[in-house]
Structure 1
Amino acid sequence: MAALIFKSCMALVLTLSLFAEGMCQCSKDDLMITQTETGTVINGKPEFRVDVFNACPCTQSSVTLDCRGFQTAEKIDPVVLAKNGDDCLVGDGSLIPPFQGTFFYYAWDSQFPFKPIFSQSNCSMRRDSATSPSY
């Protein structure tokens, strides 16, 4: 009977630890992108502010957006947004803290439909920091 209770408790602990580990994972789907027109005109084109917000409890880095077809009349510092082919790296790949964001500006005839295509989750919960039961 004690062995059955022990096995049940161990199964519960394992299940809960896997669930907790999964709760701390972020993905590109946790990035929210909003755009607003600033009212400024650059070379005859309206300027837009793009906010990239991390809606996850972990930091995210290497945030990459799909920039296929993106054009701007406004020079963007490559540290802020670096276009490489069809991809754009946000903020030089640096960390975006949990529930915070970063932004950049561009100017064109209309809003561009930026979509996240990649991010790296950087959670503080580490599997090797958990204690393992000894048998």
Structure 2
Amino acid sequence: MAAQIFKLFMAVTLTLCLFAEGMCQCSKDDLKITQSATGTVIAGKPEYKVDVFNACPCTQSSVTLDCHGFQTVEDIDPAILAKNGDDCLFNNGSPISPFQKIFFYYAWDSLFTFKPVFSQPGCSFKRDLAVSNSN
């Protein structure tokens, strides 16, 4: 009986956490970055595909990645990745929807490790629900 009550308590707590406005803020750590070689060679350098996935149930905007030392011979749309000193503004700072994946390609001698250094979570269940209902 105690185990069932505990499970019910945990389910209610998780539900409140996911749906109550402002209770569960996400962070830059909810941005999952994976990379893979495409097999294409550009200007003698291997090409890599970078996937940035928002694993947060809220939007994340103003996403900034650490780009210290990043180089590429492949043009990247600055609306996707704009280098500014040691930082790169991702997706033009626009919100990344919950569970959305955005990708880009670059070509260089070796894989570069991108790390999120900043994001602005937007956890408003009512707003996110309205956006998803308008699609």
Tell me the TM-score normalised to structure 1 length: 0.75
Where 1:92 maps in the other structure, the secondary structure is helix
Q: Please name the residue that 1:74 is paired with.
A: 74
Q: Please name the residue that 1:37 is paired with.
A: 37
1:1-135 to 2 correspondences below 5 Å: 20=20, 21-23=22-24, 25-125=25-125
Structure 1 runs of 4+ with >6 Å offset: none
User: Which piece of structure 1 moves more, 117-126 or 53-62?
Assistant: 117-126
In structure 2, distance between residues paired with 1:76 and 1:125:
33
TM-aligned CA deviation for residue 125 of structure 1: 4.0
Task: Read off the aligned partner of 1:74 and give its amino acid letter.
Answer: E
In structure 2, distance between residues paired with 1:44 and 1:58:
40
TM-aligned CA deviation for residue 22 of structure 1: 2.6
Task: Read off the aligned partner of 1:93 and give its amino acid letter.
Answer: G
Where 1:73 maps in the other structure, the secondary structure is coil
In structure 2, distance between residues paired with 1:123 and 1:83:
27
In structure 1, distance between residues paired with 2:56 and 2:125:
14
Tell me the alpha carbon deviations over residues 46-78 of structure 1, each in whole angstroms, 9 at most, x when there is no partner.
Answer: 000000000010010111100000000111111
Q: Aligned residues: percent identity?
A: 73
Structure 1 gaps, min length 5:
1-15, 127-135
Tell me the alpha carbon deviations over residues 12-43 of structure 1, each in whole angstroms, 9 at most, x when there is no partner.
Answer: xxxx79xx4332x1110100000011111000
Tell me the TM-score normalised to structure 2 length: 0.75
Q: Please name the residue that 1:9 is paired with.
A: none
TM-aligned CA deviation for residue 94 of structure 1: 1.1
Task: Read off the aligned partner of 2:97 and give its amino acid letter.
Answer: P
In structure 2, distance between residues paired with 1:22 and 1:115:
25
Where 1:29 maps in the other structure, the secondary structure is helix
